[in-house]
Amino acid sequence: MDHRQLTTFRMVCHTRSITRAAAELGYSQSAVTSQVKGLESMLRVSLFERRRDGVRLTAFGERFLPYAERMLALADEARTALHADGALAGTVIVGAGESVMTYRLPALVEALHHRHPDIRLSLRIFREGQALRALERDEIDVCLLSAVDEPAGDFQVRDLGVDDIVLVAAPNHSFDRDLAGCRFLIAQPDCLYARILAAEIGAPADSALQLGTLEGVKKAVAAGLGVALLPRVVVADLVADGEAAILPWRAANPARLYAAWTGKHEGSRELDAVVALMSRASREDLRLVS
């Protein structure tokens, strides 16, 4: 088995989808399928159960996953040892929600590549609350999350600054300051922005129009279907193009962006470099915070 097969196997495990794994890795679906089949052929077991809604680990796959993680970690350790002259190298696995992953991390990846070309970022997207659980299970090295309160738990946490969240609607929206009669748009009932709407405006998630993704919410805003609470960086393009307007409302308890990691990774020079760049991005225009 080779490093590429193991990396692909791990990505399929985390995404539970050949299609999403291919997109994350930048491979074709056929290449991902071929690598998985090659690994299964070498091990002489089926690692995944193919289902209509994606793939699921078999009992053999569950048993093999920790070994694959250990082999990949050992490869990174060896790579780091060979760069003991001061150059940083290895993989740092970052978990984040949709808004951070889509709108903030690409600039960070580019900046990291220029500063430390031998450090690779492996990105995992999570639903609300799942990134911290993945951190506890050691599935990721560091997570980035937007929250009103600092993450609770046995984590090392760095506050990266205010996550500027704004209330937006179509430009012709008739704004009532008490927001009475507004139709609110959300991605998911359990997302941070839906919770802030409920806490500060009294708009429960079950009365809002649920669109599934932030992109869906943005399109609904531009179409004039309602009002949404989103990070400014997410709607910057809509506002610039005149398809949305920011309403004169501010949250009483603003959200902040946090980086969190466990003590197990304390002393990792590669992780330190990534977190340091995240901190710099909060002071400069790398779009990590708006």
Same domain? For 225 and 262 the reply is no
Same domain? For 104 and 140 the reply is yes
Same domain? For 154 and 216 the reply is no
Same domain? For 1 and 122 the reply is no
Write out pLDDT tens, residues 36-93: 999 999 999 999 998 877 889 999 999 999 898 888 888 777 766 665 555 677 788 8
Same domain? For 139 and 204 the reply is no
Same domain? For 16 and 152 the reply is no
Among 76, 98, 130, the domain boundary falls at 76
Among 25, 56, 76, the domain boundary falls at 76
DSSP secondary structure, 264-285, as one string: GGTT-HHHHHHHHHHHHHHHTT
**Residue 44: per-residue pLDDT:** 92
**Residue 286: per-residue pLDDT:** 47
**Residue 244: per-residue pLDDT:** 92
Longest dimension (CA), the chain: 65
Token pair belonging to 129: 């609350």
Among 76, 93, 112, the domain boundary falls at 76
Write out pLDDT tens, residues 18-40: 888 888 777 778 888 988 999 99
Token pair belonging to 175: 């704004």
Q: Name the nearest CA neighbour of 61 among 50, 48, 51, 72.
A: 48
Q: How many CB atoms lie within 10 A of CB 12?
A: 26
Looking at the structure of the chain, the number of domains it has is 3
Kindly tell me the sign of the dihedral angle through the C-alpha atoms of 283, 200, 208, 180.
negative
Same domain? For 115 and 141 the reply is yes
Same domain? For 233 and 184 the reply is yes
Q: Write the CATH number for 98.
A: 3.40.190.10
Q: Strand 245-246 to strand 165-169: parallel, antiparallel, or no bridges (unpaired)?
A: antiparallel
Q: Which helix (H) or strand (E) holds 233?
A: helix 232-240
Least confident of 21-25, 173-177, 233-237, 272-276: 173-177
Same domain? For 239 and 121 the reply is no
Write out pLDDT tens, residues 141-191: 898 888 888 888 888 888 888 888 899 999 887 666 556 678 889 888 888
Q: Write the CATH number for 57.
A: 1.10.10.10
| d(C-alpha 276, C-alpha 175), whole Å | 41
Write out pLDDT tens, residues 183-229: 889 888 888 888 888 888 887 777 888 888 889 999 999 998 989 99
Q: Domain range for residue 66?
A: 1-76
Distances in whole angstroms, Cα of residue 273 to Cα of each of 91, 104, 105, 151: 12, 17, 15, 21
**Residue 86: per-residue pLDDT:** 59
3-state secondary structure 115-170: HCCCEEEEEEECCCCHHHHHHHCCCCCEEEEEECCCCCCCCEEEEEEEECEEEEEC
